[in-house]
Structures are given as structure tokens and as C-alpha cells.
């Protein structure tokens, strides 16, 4: 696990982190997250950079990383 980045915003009850959800989650301790809010790009309809989520070759490959993150 790498060092946890600084939150984008926080108060005494919550913290918001900005970044690729897969990378941010990898920085967090297991069991430390109560809620994840994300806005992934629609499969094949957005292209922001190389290697981004949403450019997988099949819908199944697109869904798998989100499924794995939610199951953690």
C-alpha cells in the first residue's frame, strides 16, 4: 500500500479524495471506506487519456474493475 494522498476536502465527519478510484482505493487501509461515489466514463464513449477506464475492448472487461472495487 502506498501513502494516502491529501484529501480534496474534509471535515470532522468525512473526507473527499480526487483521482482514479482504483488508485485512491489502493492507498486506503482495508475496511476504512464506508461509501464510494464515482463517475466512470461510459464504455467507449469518452477518451481523456491513454490507459483510462472506459477504453476496454469489451463491455465485460469494462465492468470487471468496478466489480472488483465494489467487492473489496
Determine phi and psi for 67, rounding to 5 degrees.
Answer: -65, -45
pLDDT in tens, 12-55: 999 999 888 888 988 999 888 888 887 776 778 877 778 777 88
pLDDT in tens, 44-65: 887 777 877 788 889 899 888 8
Instruction: Give me the residues paired with residue 15 across strands.
Output: 10
CA dist., res. 26 & res. 4, Å (int):
9
Q: Where are the domains of the chain?
A: 1-38, 42-72
Amino acid at each position: 500500500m502506498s501513502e494516502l494522498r491529501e484529501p480534496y476536502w474534509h471535515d470532522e465527519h468525512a473526507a473527499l479524495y480526487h483521482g482514479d478510484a482504483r488508485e485512491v482505493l489502493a492507498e486506503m487501509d482495508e475496511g476504512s471506506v464506508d461509501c464510494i461515489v464515482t463517475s466512470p466514463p461510459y464504455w467507449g464513449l469518452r477518451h481523456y487519456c491513454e490507459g483510462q477506464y472506459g477504453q476496454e475492448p469489451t463491455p465485460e472487461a469494462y465492468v470487471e474493475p468496478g466489480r472488483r472495487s465494489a467487492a473489496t
